[in-house]
């Protein structure tokens, strides 16, 4: 989902989201820097993920808070090296905070339930200042707008929201709906045969040989652009190719903010517009039904 959200809005300028300094004293109130509807796992020990936790009987997932959860950080972050995330070249380790958390949520059955506990969370998603989601879908809370007369007054309107304050949440919902419609059609594995993968090392353009044949047969999603034009096969190939490029280059960066993959997507789009350098950016050979973006990525 996040990959597609990035590529669908790559014309937007990336937003810088600084982590900010740690507070001088702990415990400290904190917030989760997540998109609306996104949750994060709280584990019983630092450095855990679903793969490692499922193999460790002493590990357990304690909760799945979202960006509305109440969070309290109990101390300074702890750096942890695990086989999945440790980079021996840069000596990079992941950092985690021990936190207390509480959230309420409406379940599939319509009942409200509460969850609280104490555990460890990836420090990359923790902020000590409330951050608005990049793709907020929440409607703004009612406010009194001096430009709109109150209800009951001649010229008054039902509600006092200026239309501009509603545009962004509605547009973001449209982005998410478009991404969900695209997901079944793109990103499929070219092959699961490890012998085939091992033989691809020096066989030319792997995308054209192993991905395009299936992509040419998939049913086009019912998606339109802002001008009401239906998605074309060439555009679907562009989206699939860009999504694969973003995942391969920034697969571990999404948790640090969507602005990272958005910036890389913007670079790819800028190269499409640099027609005088297409010979440099589009080294082939390429299939005839690929557009400039797919050839660059």
Residue pointed to by tokens 């050839």: 295
258 against 131, higher pLDDT? 131
Residue 216 within a domain = yes
pTM (2 d.p.): 0.59
Burial class (CB within 10 angstroms; exposed 0-12, middle 13-18, buried 19+) of 239: buried
Same domain, 182 and 286: yes
* Domains identified in the chain, total number: 2
Same domain, 290 and 190: yes
26 against 14, higher pLDDT? 26
Cβ atoms of residues 164 and 140 within 8 Å? no
If you write DSSP's letter for every residue of 164-203 in order, what string do you get? HHHHHHHHHHHHHHHHHHHGGGS---S---HHHHHTTTTS
Neighbouring C-beta atoms of residue 13, cutoff 10 Å? 9
Residue 247 within a domain = yes
Same domain, 106 and 177: no
Residue 230 within a domain = yes
Q: How far is CA 93 from CA 53, 60, 90, 122, in A?
A: 18, 21, 9, 11
Residue in 297, 247, 284, 15 with CA at minimum distance from that of residue 131: 15
Residue pointed to by tokens 């969850």: 115
Same domain, 232 and 186: yes
Residue 189 has pLDDT above 90, yes or no: no
Cβ atoms of residues 291 and 237 within 8 Å? yes
Asked whether the CA dihedral 270, 274, 280, 286 is positive or negative, the reply is positive
Residue 85 lies in domain: 28-127
Same domain, 114 and 187: no
Same domain, 234 and 275: yes
Cβ atoms of residues 26 and 17 within 8 Å? no
Same domain, 116 and 197: no
165 against 254, higher pLDDT? 254
Same domain, 64 and 7: no
Q: Which two tokens stand for residue 116?
A: 């609280």
Same domain, 274 and 190: yes
Query: pLDDT digits over 131-183, tens only?
Result: 776 656 565 555 544 444 444 444 444 444 445 555 555 566 677 788 888 88
Q: Specify the 3-state DSSP secondary structure of 98.
A: strand
Cα angle at 138 between 133 and 144, to 5 degrees? 115
Same domain, 284 and 179: yes
Residue 147 within a domain = no
Mean predicted confidence (pLDDT) in 227-238? 88
Same domain, 177 and 291: yes
Query: pLDDT digits over 58-97, tens only?
Result: 889 999 999 999 999 999 999 887 655 545 555 567 889 9
């Amino acid at each position: 989902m996040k990959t597609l959200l990035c590529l669908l809005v790559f014309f937007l300028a990336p937003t810088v989201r600084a982590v900010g300094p740690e507070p001088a004293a702990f415990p400290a109130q904190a917030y989760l820097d997540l998109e609306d509807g996104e949750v994060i796992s709280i584990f019983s020990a630092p450095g855990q993920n679903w793969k490692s936790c499922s193999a460790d009987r002493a590990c357990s997932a304690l909760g799945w808070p979202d960006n509305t959860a109440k969070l309290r950080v109990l101390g300074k972050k702890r750096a942890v090296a695990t086989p999945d995330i440790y980079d021996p070249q840069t000596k990079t380790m992941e950092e985690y905070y021990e936190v207390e958390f509480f959230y309420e949520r409406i379940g599939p059955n319509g009942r409200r339930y509460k969850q609280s506990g104490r555990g460890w969370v990836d420090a990359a998603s923790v902020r000590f200042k409330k951050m608005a989601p990049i793709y907020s879908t929440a409607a703004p809370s009612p406010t009194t707008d001096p430009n709109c007369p109150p209800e009951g007054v001649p010229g008054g309107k039902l509600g006092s929201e200026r239309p501009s304050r509603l545009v962004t949440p509605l547009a973001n919902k449209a982005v998410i709906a478009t991404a969900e419609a695209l997901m079944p059609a793109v990103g499929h594995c070219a092959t699961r045969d490890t012998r085939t993968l091992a033989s691809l090392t020096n066989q030319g353009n792997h995308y054209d040989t192993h991905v395009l044949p299936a992509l040419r047969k998939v049913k086009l999603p019912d998606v339109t652009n802002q001008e009401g034009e239906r998605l074309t096969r060439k555009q679907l190939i562009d989206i699939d190719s860009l999504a694969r490029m973003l995942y391969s280059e920034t697969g571990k960066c999404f948790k640090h903010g969507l602005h990272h993959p958005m910036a890389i997507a913007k670079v790819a789009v800028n190269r499409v517009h640099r027609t005088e350098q297409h010979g440099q950016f589009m080294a082939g050979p390429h299939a005839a039904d690929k557009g400039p973006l797919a050839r660059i990525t």
